[in-house]
């Protein structure tokens, strides 16, 4: 890379850090091309991005952002994963680390909060944003369903009582 390409890369990475809410730092030691391709596919499916970046350029891009706390993690071969949905990116990274021992999650940052590997793993165990929305919608719809059932129950009971009296009168 020449200087202009490096400047453009740092600028684009800084723009990414300004837009995202979660960054995960990983160590992809010894991954094959096929494994990295599989990892990128999984990240894309989760709505996340994965990029191997030079530590020096990533450190320059981190200057002045809320993710400054991850600079100490940028030593040795590292790669960054990021997403607007913090649970999605952490789930994708932790799940891939579980199935591939060469891929290690070093830590990350959720906004200004720096997380270690255990923090990223704990975040990955939370329900995703879509799951939370579905649960909330279900909770909002449940009372309406129960109210409709309660309102219909007395009418049904009256109809059964009247039907019982009608059968009794027919039998008599």
Same domain, 100 and 146: no
Alpha helices in the chain (DSSP H): 3-19, 33-45, 55-62, 86-99, 117-124, 129-171
Same domain, 36 and 66: yes
For residue 139, is pLDDT > 70?
yes
Q: Domain with 94 in it: what CATH number?
A: 3.30.70.1730
Same domain, 93 and 152: no
For residue 108, is pLDDT > 70?
yes
Same domain, 131 and 120: no
Q: What is the mean pLDDT of the chain?
A: 84
For residues 150-162, average pLDDT: 68
Domain span holding position 150: 127-172
Same domain, 82 and 136: no
The pTM assigned to this predicted structure is 0.71
Same domain, 85 and 142: no
Same domain, 40 and 121: yes
How many CB atoms sit inside 10 A of residue 138's CB? 10
User: Which tokens go with 47?
Assistant: 């709505």
CA distance 101 to 47: 23
Same domain, 51 and 94: yes
Same domain, 136 and 86: no
For residue 41, is pLDDT > 90?
yes
């Amino acid at each position: 890379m020449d200087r202009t390409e490096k400047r453009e890369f740092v600028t684009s990475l800084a723009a990414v850090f300004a837009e995202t809410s979660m960054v995960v730092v990983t160590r992809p030691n010894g991954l094959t091309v096929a494994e990295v391709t599989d990892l990128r596919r999984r990240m894309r499916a989760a709505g996340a991005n994965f990029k191997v970046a030079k530590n020096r350029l990533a450190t320059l891009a981190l200057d002045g952002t809320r993710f400054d706390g991850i600079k100490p993690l940028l030593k040795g071969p590292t790669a960054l994963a990021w997403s607007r949905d913090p649970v999605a990116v952490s789930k994708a990274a932790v799940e891939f680390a579980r199935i591939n021992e060469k891929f290690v999650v070093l830590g990350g940052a959720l906004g200004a909060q720096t997380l270690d590997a255990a923090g990223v793993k704990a975040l990955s165990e939370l329900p995703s944003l879509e799951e939370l929305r579905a649960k909330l919608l279900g909770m909002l719809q449940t009372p309406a369903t129960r109210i409709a059932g309660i309102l219909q129950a007395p009418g049904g009971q009256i109809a059964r009582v009247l039907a019982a009296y009608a059968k009794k009168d027919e039998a008599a």
